Structures are given as structure tokens and as C-alpha cells.
């Protein structure tokens, strides 16, 4: 399976734990499905990789409707990890994915207990198409009163260590920004064996239906994404890049080639583009095509050279 071009030959190339990417642009989990709809619009093999829809051990319907709401410069979502479960993904979705995308994928994994995380991760680790395991620790810990695994350094480390014991591929822990000090969570993951960090997940938000005088979302609260969160994401990536030595996939409101460069200067080795895909299905394609222009304006010869430039 091709892992991308050599960074010396390709000015857009980057690398994540030995996995070479043709460019740093990766559609974020939950915003690109399994690629089928986008493959009808353009050749998705131009993408650096794809983080496919978040996968849990068992099938999940997700939260009740409505679960999406627009906000100024962004959106709220409370989809609730709707997915067909890991066995269905392996049996049906990955074989179909292989027909349209020929590079290693990022497998985004969620769970509600340590056992769910490890069983799902072990199954996806065995799949040839998967290059990186992205472990979403924003899920409620059902054995700890529903508190997110990612809000406690100890719980984050416990998930990291457990997943690392049953897998062989690079493990990137996806962190929630809804904490006091995200660097403490990142360092705990690094100390527990994480190969990298993905950040940030959505910020907790709410909208109110003024006519009904009730929360707009059936779930009451949801995750805020889109350009509104970009400065927060840049700040958190920058802080974390100073605190850990492992690579970071930066995300949160990226919608342009200039955003990609800024996020990489903050310390990200690659980026994920999320909400922008829901506004413009060509967003990732257009960002990749515009990167040479943005690089030329800033006298950047290779993207790999600017990783952490602002540190």
C-alpha cells in the first residue's frame, strides 16, 4: 500500500510516526463518513489520509433529533456517535472504502469502558487499511459517573495504556478541550505510551430556541466546531507541542490553506478538516490545491520545515 511521496521530493509531504502522507490534510472523523459521497465529487486519493466515522464496539443509533444547530461561524452537533459497530465496519465499510481510497486510513475509535476501547482497537489494528488508531477519549466513562475519560489525566492514561497493550500501530489520543489544562492530559497520554495526540475535539456549547424557550438540541448541549473555535485550537496545539515530544494532528475550525500553515506553525505535523466539509464538500480538495500558493507567499519551501515554527 503506498504511503505517500518522499518529503524531499514533495513540498507538501509530512510524516506521522513513520507513516508518510502526500500532504497534511485529513478529513476529520464524522465529517466525511466512509468517503463514498465525496468520491462521487472528486478523486479522494489526493487527501493525505482520512479519519473515518467514529467506531464503537456495538451499533449506535445516536442521540434523538434535532442534533445539529447552526451558530455564528460554526455549528453545534450532538450526533451521539451514530455508527454500525466495528464488526459491520470491518465486514462492509472497509472493503467498500478500499475500492475508492488506496492509502492508509485513520481509524477513529470511541468506547464507554476500557474493555470497549481495547476490543474495538484490537479489531481495527488488525486491518491492513488502517495506518493510525485515533482514540477519542471524550466519551463518558460509564464506570465513573459519566465523566469523560479525557477530563482526567489518570483516566486518559489508563485508556492509553490499555489500548497500547493490544495494538501494534501508532495510537493517537484525541483530546477534549473541555478541561482546565489540556497539557496535563497530553503528558499523561504520552507517559502511558501514546504515539501521538489529536486535538482538539469540540467545545461544549448550547443554543436556545427563543420561541419555545427550550434548548435547541434534544441533547440540550452539543459540541461547537467551525471557524469560531480555530483560535482556541491553535492555542491548545501550541501549548501541547511545548509540553510533549510526540507528534500532533491539529484540528478545530480549519477551513483554508492559511489555517493549515498556522496550525502547523503552532506544532501540528498534520491537520484534520471537519466542519468545513459540511459547508463545502470540496473543502479539503481546495485547501490542498491552494497550499502551494500560501507557501509561496510565505517563502515556505517544504511544509515539514514549518512544524512548530512558532514554538
Residues marked active site are found at: 139
Residue with cell 501508532: 170
133 with 51: CB under 8 angstroms? no
Amino acid at each position: 500500500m503506498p504511503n505517500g511521496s518522499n518529503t524531499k521530493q514533495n513540498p507538501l509531504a509530512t510524516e506521522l510516526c513513520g507513516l508518510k502522507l502526500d500532504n497534511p490534510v485529513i478529513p476529520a472523523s464524522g465529517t466525511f463518513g466512509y468517503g463514498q459521497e465525496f468520491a462521487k465529487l472528486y478523486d479522494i486519493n489526493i487527501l493525505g489520509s482520512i479519519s473515518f466515522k467514529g467506531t464503537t464496539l456495538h451499533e449506535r443509533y445516536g442521540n434523538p433529533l434535532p442534533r445539529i444547530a447552526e451558530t455564528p461561524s460554526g455549528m453545534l452537533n450532538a450526533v451521539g456517535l451514530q455508527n454500525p459497530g466495528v464488526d459491520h465496519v470491518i465486514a462492509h465499510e472497509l472493503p467498500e472504502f478500499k475500492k475508492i481510497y488506496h492509502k492508509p486510513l485513520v481509524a477513529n475509535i470511541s468506547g464507554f469502558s476500557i474493555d470497549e476501547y481495547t476490543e474495538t482497537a484490537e479489531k481495527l489494528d488488525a486491518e491492513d487499511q488502517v495506518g493510525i488508531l485515533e482514540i477519542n477519549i471524550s466519551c463518558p466513562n460509564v464506570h465513573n459517573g459519566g465523566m469523560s475519560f479525557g477530563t482526567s489525566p489518570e483516566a486518559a492514561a489508563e485508556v492509553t495504556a490499555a489500548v497500547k497493550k493490544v495494538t501494534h500501530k501508532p495510537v493517537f489520543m484525541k483530546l477534549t478541550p473541555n478541561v482546565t489544562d489540556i497539557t496535563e492530559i497530553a503528558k499523561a497520554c504520552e507517559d502511558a505510551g501514546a504515539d501521538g495526540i489529536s486535538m482538539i475535539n469540540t467545545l461544549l456549547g448550547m443554543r436556545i430556541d427563543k420561541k419555545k424557550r427550550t434548548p435547541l438540541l434534544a441533547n440540550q448541549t452539543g459540541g461547537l466546531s467551525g471557524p469560531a473555535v480555530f483560535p482556541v485550537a491553535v492555542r491548545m496545539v501550541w501549548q501541547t507541542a511545548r509540553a510533549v515530544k510526540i507528534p500532533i494532528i491539529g484540528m478545530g475550525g480549519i477551513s483554508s490553506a492559511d489555517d493549515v500553515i498556522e496550525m502547523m506553525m503552532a506544532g501540528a505535523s498534520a491537520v484534520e478538516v471537519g466542519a468545513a466539509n459540511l459547508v463545502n464538500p470540496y473543502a479539503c480538495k481546495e485547501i490542498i490545491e491552494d497550499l502551494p500558493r500560501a507557501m509561496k507567499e510565505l517563502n515556505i519551501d517544504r511544509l515539514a520545515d514549518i512544524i512548530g515554527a512558532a514554538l
